[in-house]
Structure 1
């Protein structure tokens, strides 16, 4: 299926109980004009196509969970962003998230509960950020990145799946929800705990100028490493969700 044609989507989703849309080009790339356009279109077009398909359903899903990102909040080293008091800013990444959620919530369908998953860094063994953090630490490069003060909001992949299931089962939950562990920590502390876990006695720090050069060669953006995502899952906590991995050390034990 693609993000523009609704015929196959209709065939799959008519009479379905739940729709979970995680479509979107990875932001782990250089932010040139081509990639920016693909990042935007892959999110907006897929959401728009699904909405168009749902409008034609006789029996649409009762729950629609759409991906979003904790990157919607501004860089913050001290302010803890909840769904109620989170500060949303204005740059490429934040505007992508704002446009994504605007498209998602733009249409209100009766009897369809919509949730935007404002997800932080998901940590798992197979792909994503954790294997990369582990690899650079094993090479002795697992020191702080930049000043190391940037806050790292994260969630273990098992808790991510459980949080999605929790939201599905709790019919009072809707709107934008932070999907992140309750204890963000600084980049400096995160890298230190990781080094200790893999028994690496040192980690060479990476100053910003070095990260800028490295980002060009590995075709990514330093924002992914340097932006401070200081996010708290207030709605999940208030509604009784229990994290299995509520701090980074517990998560490391599993990972």
Structure 2
């Protein structure tokens, strides 16, 4: 197996650590671009200026950009600006750095989000048939992708990762959902019929590995082929945690609770019905397509 040098921008968070652990196990060399370097393979960057970190790109085979302020916050004007600027500035400066390289990365994968698609219960949103929406979150995703697509990289293939909720042991959405469920608040949220597009952390890493190994480019929905519903998600989580009941959460209570804990209720109220058409058409095999099995593996392992 060929070993690669992989640089993950904004890789000190949950998803970055999932990828680092996965690729390290395969023997690849990993560098992390971070504002808070703590280890030998960490390199300082502020996500907006060219600096010493650019030297690593000349020996990087695979560049993955995960940078962006978390959307798990209140959408104040200040936070909206940070959410936007952190994504656009990091993408633009990486583009400059890549094009300054004598030996640039072979492939550059840039994060986006499956939230780019409109709220949907029945229509399945694929890369070819999905309806792109128009609100703050969707427009952030559009701006992010436009910034990335406008960068010409003649020697570097480019991939957009429209990622859904990633379920993992040590981070992401599963941590607060587990806490709610253990406190007896793990009932359906709102009417519970809203679709939830999700992916297991192992499949998230495997999908990126597959895209690179197969030398693919373009836009990919990084989601499980079987979206669940909120009501089934919470039922499966209660079962995995051996919690016999869960108090349902009304819409007004969710909005109040989101305000109290400093986030937005759209994270649970929006219906995301997204399918990974391009991954499936290229032959990718998921390890976890069943939400019950996925949650069981994460909670009990």
TM-score tier after normalising by the smaller chain length: over 0.9
Which of 129, 133, 142 matches 2:173? 129
Matches of 2:239 and 2:127 in 1, distance apart? 33
The Cα shift of 1:3 comes to: 1.2
1:243 and 2:286 correspond: yes
Q: What RMSD, in angstroms, separates the aligned Cα atoms of the two structures?
A: 0.9
Matches of 1:8 and 1:99 in 2, distance apart? 27
Q: TM-score, normalised by structure 2?
A: 0.83
Matches of 1:224 and 1:233 in 2, distance apart? 20
Number of residues of Structure 1 aligned to a counterpart in Structure 2: 254
Partner of residue 250, structure 2: 207
Matches of 1:253 and 1:140 in 2, distance apart? 18
CA deviations on 1:20-39 (whole Å, 9 max, x unpaired) are 00000000000000000000
Partner of residue 69, structure 1: 113
Which of 243, 260, 266 matches 1:217? 260
CA contact (8 A) 1:153 1:185 kept: yes
The Cα shift of 1:132 comes to: 1.2
Which of structure 1's runs of 4+ aligned residues deviate more than 2 A?
none
Within-5 A mapping of 1:96-245 = 96-171=140-215, 173-245=216-288
CA contact (8 A) 2:104 2:155 kept: no
Identify the structure with bigger relative contact order (alpha carbons < 8 Å, sequence gap 6+).
1
Residue 64 of structure 1: SS of its match in structure 2? Answer: strand
- Long gaps (5+) in structure 2: 1-44
Which of 61, 78, 89 matches 2:122? 78
Matches of 1:216 and 1:109 in 2, distance apart? 42
1:26 and 2:26 correspond: no
Q: TM-score, normalised by structure 1?
A: 0.98
- Long gaps (5+) in structure 1: none
